[in-house]
Amino acid sequence: ELYNLFIQKPRVLIPRRLRFEVEERIGPKGEIITPLNKVQAEKLARRLEKENVKAVAVTLLFSYINPKHEREIGKILGKLKKKIYVTLSSEIAPEYREYERTSTAAVNAVLMPIVSSYLNNLQRKINNLGIRAPLCIMQSDGGISAKNMAAKKPVSIVESGPAAGVIASAFYGKLLGIDNILSFDMGGTTAKAGAVKEATPEIVSEYEIAGKVHSGRIVKGSGYPVRQPFIDLAECSAGGGTIAWVDEGKALRVGPISAGAEPGPACYGRGGAQPTVTDANIILGRLNPRYMLGGEMKVYPELSEEAVKKNICEKIGLDLVDSAAGIVKIANSIMAKILRIVSIERGHDPRRFVLMCFGGAGPMHACALAEELHITKMVVPPNPGLFSAYGLLTADFQTCLTKAVMELTEKVDAEKVEAIFKKLELKGMKLLEKQNVPRASISFVRQADLRYLGQSYELTVPTATPFTKETLRKTVESFHEKHKAIYGYAVENEPVELVNVKLTAVGLVEKPKLKVHITHEATPSRAALITKRQVFFEKYNDYIETPIYRREKLKSGNTILGPAVIEQYDATTLVYPEWKIIVDRFGNLTFTVEDEEE
């Protein structure tokens, strides 16, 4: 929203009356110019205690180079009689950019009391159930951490739910020998897309929490910026419960408002009167009203028709089918945009990726999205509605550490950088061992943030072990290549700056083993093909008599030619004409375009 002069700023997290200064100063090279006034700091700590402050964010200039004063303030706050949650910016985000570092510390401090209380209650209830397994929490970077670590660093878990789906996609990709995957998750209120490149989820270093989403992107300045690793996700307000409406110009719109689970789509019969994407799919014959949640949930297709007629047809003069088809087309267009964001806008060709579709509504829209992006291969996992939860079981323990360098690469002392990496490795190992990760299961991934001198942003590239002059040269080459892939150019004669070095300490966990079923039956059994019904396909602008299959009755090796509908308890898969499905040995539905196979 470049030209929006009235953008709504986020609510202030910490009011001005609760922001305080202390007498101290550290210089840009880490030198102490003015020692910390400990008497003043102790007096301020007692004042905060009297005002019943629950959490404090400590952020000082250049503390990312020398954290001495922040740590001293942290010790003073830790000696108070009342427990105060303390976040030091030098620990949570030890990077330059004072505003982003301060914002990250503030967000973490605000979340600490809430998340700590929640996790303690959760742990207590788990114990009462007799479960003795350790409680681990998913992080936004795709790793997991022990409960106590997550409680100290809650800013690291704010986008953890969507991240799990991308991790599951990467895990399945390794099983299937697929390195490049576009992960697509469509639920009831939103759809999310991520990318797995060369078997590794794409990561970004900055995110705006609670930011407004516009065209799949977070609007800059609408949220709270945090400097933490996040799986690179694009999100849009297009889910099964997203409401369709007509604007003042008589244009059909979809979203961003959702009917949610209560009252839900009109067909639920719970009082919802607005038409949703789910209602449109029922009208088009794509969803079976008698088999929602395996037939356990009763829905009312007549209410879907009533909602679309009243709110869409009567306002824009379209008939029922055209209105429902229009709703689905608009929703697909919105969702295709977020797939473009994580692929084309990141310098990736989506045609070279496999689309992994999941979530309760994802498989319904898979073929439409693949055709929109000219993707010719797709996978729908066995339990699409549970796929993100499966990602939790495959995630490794992960701790990300950063150290600012801020040196031109031509002046970088490779031995000093190697020493920094060694210190980070030691710290990472200790943090993982505190979470009961065996030393033999720990490995490290090294990265570096680089930029052309004068740029205000940097790119993260991998770097090898040990860090030598030759390693540095190759790292700079990788930076040029990545810059060209993303921005279309590289300036190899320009000075390059090494901004940060990063280390990810990984604690490998045992992965679940999938059941393998091998049969050689190409034709599905009679029990699998349950009926046929009229299903609308926009490509032909008409209903086609379509075979309906029960997924649990399909066997590995079964081949299905579109058009088809495959129903199961937690999702419905729509197969467009000219697509072919083969059930693989893990029970996945693997899609290919018939022409491509030939």
Same domain, yes or no: 370 and 448: no
Write down the pLDDT at residue 594.
74
Contact yes or no for 552/518 (Cβ under 8 A) = no
Determine the structural domain holding residue 461 and report its residue range: 396-507
Residues 375 and 409 in one domain: no
C-alpha 566/C-alpha 588 separation (Å) is 12
- Residue 100 sits in the same domain as residue 29: yes
The total number of structural domains in the chain stands at 4
Q: Check: CB of residue 160 under 8 Å from CB of residue 167.
A: no
What Cα–Cα distance (Å) separates residue 355 from each residue in 198, 200, 276, 589?
A: 14, 15, 25, 12
- Quick check: is 470 in a domain? yes
Residue 261: per-residue pLDDT: 82
Say if 548 falls within a structural domain: no
Domain match, 109 and 223 both: no
Per the confidence metrics, is the pTM higher than 0.75? yes
What are the phi and psi torsion angles at 434 (to 5°)? Answer: -65, -20
Q: Among 507, 539, 564, which residue terminates a domain?
A: 507
Do 344 and 212 sit in the same domain of this protein? Answer: yes
Write down the residue that tokens 């799986």 correspond to. 231
* Residues 85 and 232 placed together within one structural domain of the fold: no
Do 506 and 429 form a contact (C-beta atoms < 8 A)? no
Q: What is the 3-state secondary structure (H, E, C) of 468-514?
A: CHHHHHHHHHHHHHHHHHHHCCCCCCCCEEEEEEEEEEEECCCCCCC
CA-CA-CA-CA dihedral for 296, 300, 305, 307, to nearest 10: -100
Residue type present at position 123 = Q
Instruction: Choose the final residue of a domain: 372, 393, 414.
Output: 393
Residue 94 in tokens: 């030890």
Instruction: Say if residue 263 is in the same domain as residue 251.
Output: yes
Percent of the chain scored above 90 by pLDDT? 86
Contact 210, 187 (CB under 8 A): no
> Distance between CA atoms of 230 and 227, rounded to whole angstroms?
9
CATH number for the domain including 492?
Answer: 3.30.1490
What CATH number should be reported for the domain holding residue 188? 3.30.420
CA atoms within 13 A on the CB side of 37: 10
**pLDDT score, position 596:** 52
266: left (phi over 0), alpha (psi -120 to 50) or beta: alpha
> What share of the chain in percent tops pLDDT 70?
98
**What is the pLDDT at residue 597?**
46
Task: Single out the residue in 459, 482, 507 at which a domain terminates.
Answer: 507
Token pair for 208: 């705006």
Q: How many helices (H) and strands (E) does the chain have?
A: 15, 29
The pairs formed by 479-484 with CB atoms below 8 angstroms and a separation of 24 or more are 479/450, 482/347, 483/452, 483/459
Residues 20 and 117 in one domain: yes
228 lies in a domain? yes
Dihedral angle, C-alpha 105, 108, 110, 113, nearest 10 °:
-140
Query: 401 and 386: one domain?
Result: no
Instruction: Please check whether residue 165 lies inside any domain of the structure.
Output: yes
The alpha carbons of the chain give a radius of gyration, in whole angstroms, of: 27
CB atoms inside a 10 Å sphere around CB 553:
16
pLDDT of res. 4: 75
In our burial notation (b when 16+ CB lie closer than 10 A, e otherwise), range 435-454 reads bebeeeebeebbbbbbbbee
160-176 and 387-394 helices cross at what angle (nearest 10)? 80
pLDDT at res. 277: 97
pLDDT digits (tens, 9 = 90+) for 274-307: 999 999 999 999 999 998 888 899 999 999 999 9
C-alpha to C-alpha distance for 377 and 6, rounded to whole angstroms: 43
Give CA–CA dist 171/512, Å, rounded. 10
**Size of the chain, expressed as the number of residues it contains:** 598
Tell me the residue type at 39: V
Supply the angle between the helices 320-342 and 362-372 in degrees, to the nearest 10. 70
In contact, 378 and 356? CB cutoff 8 Å? yes
CA distance linking residue 215 with residue 276, whole number of Å: 19
| Assigned domain for 459 exists | yes
Residues 363 and 462 in one domain: no
User: Both tokens of residue 268?
Assistant: 């639920």
Same structural domain, 265 and 366: no
Q: How far apart (Å, rounded) are the C-alpha atoms in residues 468 and 487? A: 28
pLDDT digits (tens, 9 = 90+) for 545-573: 999 999 999 999 999 998 999 999 999 99
189 belongs to a structural domain: yes
* Contact status, residue 517 vs residue 585, Cβ threshold 8 Å: yes
Say if 112 falls within a structural domain.
yes
Q: What whole-number distance in Å separates Cα of residue 538 and Cα of residue 335?
A: 17
Which stretches of the chain score pLDDT less than 70?
1-2, 213-218, 595-598
In three-state form (DSSP H/G/I as H, E/B as E, the rest C), the secondary structure along 564-583 is EEEECCCCEEEECCCEEEEE
Could you give the CA distance from residue 548 to residue 466 in angstroms, rounded to a whole number?
57
Does 420 share its domain with 378?
no
**Cβ atoms < 10 Å from Cβ of 522:** 12
The predicted structure's pLDDT at residue 292: 87
> Contact 316/252 with Cβ under 8 angstroms?
yes
Conformational region of residue 112, where left means phi above 0, alpha means psi within -120 to 50, and beta covers everything else: alpha
Q: How many alpha carbons lie under 13 Å from residue 25 in its C-beta half-sphere?
A: 4
Q: What is d(CA 70, CA 314) in angstroms, rounded to the nearest whole number? A: 64
- Inside any domain, residue 136: no
